[in-house]
Amino acid sequence: MNFTQKLIVATKKLDIDVNHFHKKSEIKDIAIVGHPGWCGGACTELDHQIICWQAMGIKVHICHAEDLTEGYLSLGMESRGCIYHESRDWKSLKDMHVISFCSRGFLDNVEEIRKYARTTTFANCMTWTFPQEEEACKKGLIDFFLYQSDHQLEKVHDKLKGINSNYNPVRFKPYFFAKEFKYEEERDHDFFQFGRLSREDPSKFNKKQFWIYDQIKAPLPKKGIILGWRDTVGDKFPEGVPSYIRTLPMGGMSQGNFYNFADFLIVASDTFENLPRIGFEAMASGSILIVDNRGGWKTLIEDGKTGCLCDTPDDFVQKATELAYDEKKRKDIRRAARAKLDKEWGIEASMESWDNVFKQIEKM
């Protein structure tokens, strides 16, 4: 099959309307340094952006900084129309626009990549900068820096601008492929079921997380799952894990089963999030978000309408308790959250955003 035929087959499998192919980009080919993955913010995000780019008629080349293991190949990117290059074959990227999503391999090799690429673009998914990113900025090795949100840009702008006055930040609106997740509006469980999902990083957990769970009142017995747990996280909670909560490591449960279980995603954290992918996943699945009133959560959530934003542990308790007793409110929030997701991070909005990004890149 030629490229167009592969693309049509791939998009039909993904349930993407082929009419979107009429939204052509000025750029015909882009190269990715890195690789999509089954889990992890940047890896899953890259997977979704590739869907969007291909719907714009762009050929996506992949040149990974690591060996292509069976785990990578199992994603079937070639059958979806992507073109593989030999790993670390930077010469093969000659005169191509190169994009990387938070890939350390890109940062480690950017000086060599820059010798051949027409342009280099780096999307940092964090709210802080990497030392290699700062060094590449200083040397002028990265042409464009992509950001998902205004608050993320605000966190790093002055630092990178101070390193290099030619620093060129660009905002984009990421695409979230919601059809990967089954939306469950009617949730008739025998328990007040909640979940917590994050990296297995102690800083992701607020020290009063279990206190919050204990204080929530509900008409049904409580049952919880924490996905993303290891011993170092447990060290933060000497009081131990409540008996009604099950802890699992990352990958210890499928995301589909997790969101089907979790009627609520109750996440108190000590970190400043960018634009959390778990927020998108919860909104797509019908899990109600009860989270911190800061960072990317404020972009995703209209308090009381598409979820709940909390300033204090008491806020978490109060808002979760109120929703536990209000079935109509729960249903309204689920519907509003899914509608916001489809409108603001659906393929139409994202293609328009990427079209602006590519127009700027093409001018280089």
Give the residue-averaged pLDDT of 160-166.
97
Average pLDDT on 121-141 reads: 95
**210/165 same-domain check:** no
Threshold 0.75, pTM exceeds? yes
Query: Which CATH number fits the domain that encloses residue 131?
Result: 3.40.50.2000
Task: With a cut of 70, say whether residue 264 has pLDDT above it.
Answer: yes
Confidence check: pLDDT of 361 > 60: yes
Question: Binning pLDDT at 50, 70 and 90, where does residue 22 land?
Answer: very low
Dist. CA 205–CA 247, nearest whole Å: 13
User: Could you tell me how many residues make up the chain?
Assistant: 364
138 pLDDT band (50/70/90 cuts)? very high
Contacts with 215 (C-beta within 8 Å, 6 or more apart), sequence order = 313, 317
Q: Is residue 200's pLDDT more than 60?
A: yes
Which tokens sit at 294? 């800061």
Q: What is the pLDDT of residue 274?
A: 84
DSSP letter (8 states) at residue 135: H
Read off the pLDDT of each residue in 61-79 and give the average, rounded to a whole number. 88
Distance of CA 171 to the CA centre of its chain: 15
One domain for residues 22 and 164: yes
Q: Could you tell me the residue range of the domain that residue 134 belongs to?
A: 3-175+346-362
Cα separation values, 359 from 129, 242, 333, 353, Å: 26, 53, 37, 10
Phi first, then psi: what are they for 348, rounded to 5°? -65, -50
Q: What is the pLDDT of residue 188?
A: 87
Specify whether 149 is located in the same domain as 195: no
Higher pLDDT, 36 or 328: 328
pLDDT (mean) for 340-345: 94
pLDDT at 7: 52
Whether residues 161 and 310 fall in one domain: no
Mean pLDDT calculated for residue range 267-276: 87
pLDDT at 80: 87
* Residue 340 φ/ψ region, left for φ over 0, alpha for ψ in the -120 to 50 degree band, beta for the rest: alpha
Task: Please indicate, yes or no, whether residues 329 and 225 belong to a single structural domain of this protein.
Answer: yes
184 and 217 share one domain: yes
Q: How far apart are CA 31 and CA 112, in angstroms?
A: 15
What is the rounded CA–CA span in Å between residue 247 and residue 218?
A: 21
Q: What percent of the chain has pLDDT over 70?
A: 91
Asked if residue 240 has pLDDT above 50, the reply is yes
pLDDT band at 11 (very low <50, low <70, confident <90, very high): low
Distance CA 89, CA 42 (A): 22
- Is the domain of 63 the same as that of 77? yes
Give the Cα separation of 354 and 339 in Å (integer): 21
Q: Please tell me the distance from the alpha carbon of residue 74 to that of residue 161, in angstroms, as a whole number.
A: 40
* Cα–Cα nearest to 48, from 262, 288, 284, 250: 284
Number of domains in the chain: 2
pLDDT surpassing 80 at residue 9: no
Average pLDDT, rounded, for the chain: 90
**CA–CA gap between residue 26 and residue 363 (Å, rounded):** 10
**Tens digit of each residue's pLDDT (9 = 90 or more) over 146-157:** 999 898 999 999
Strand, coil or helix: what is 323? helix
Instruction: With a cut of 90, say whether residue 6 has pLDDT above it.
Output: no
The reply to whether 158 and 191 lie within a common domain is: no
Do 165 and 117 sit in the same domain of this protein?
yes
What is the reported pLDDT for 364?
80
Closest by CA position to 279, among listed 174, 288, 270, 271: 288
* H helical segments located in the chain: 3-13, 41-55, 70-73, 104-114, 131-138, 150-163, 209-215, 231-234, 255-261, 277-285, 297-300, 313-324, 327-344, 347-362
Beta partners for 98? 31, 120
**Alpha carbon 82 to chain centroid distance?**
21
Distance CA 279, CA 266 (A): 11
CA distances from 3 to 7, 28, 56, 139 (A): 6, 12, 13, 37
Model pLDDT, residue 350: 93
Answer whether residue 249 shows pLDDT above 70: yes
Per-residue pLDDT for 8 more than 70?
no
CA distances from 234 to 238, 267, 270, 313, 316 (A): 7, 16, 15, 19, 21
Same domain, 354 and 319: no
Q: Per-residue pLDDT averaged across 153-167, rounded?
A: 95
Q: What is the mean pLDDT of residues 278-282?
A: 95
Task: For residues 246-259, give the mean pLDDT.
Answer: 92
Quick one: 169 and 60 in the same domain? yes
pLDDT at 1 over 80: no
Same domain membership, residue 296 and residue 263: yes
Q: Has residue 3 got a pLDDT over 60?
A: no
pLDDT (average), residues 37-59:
80
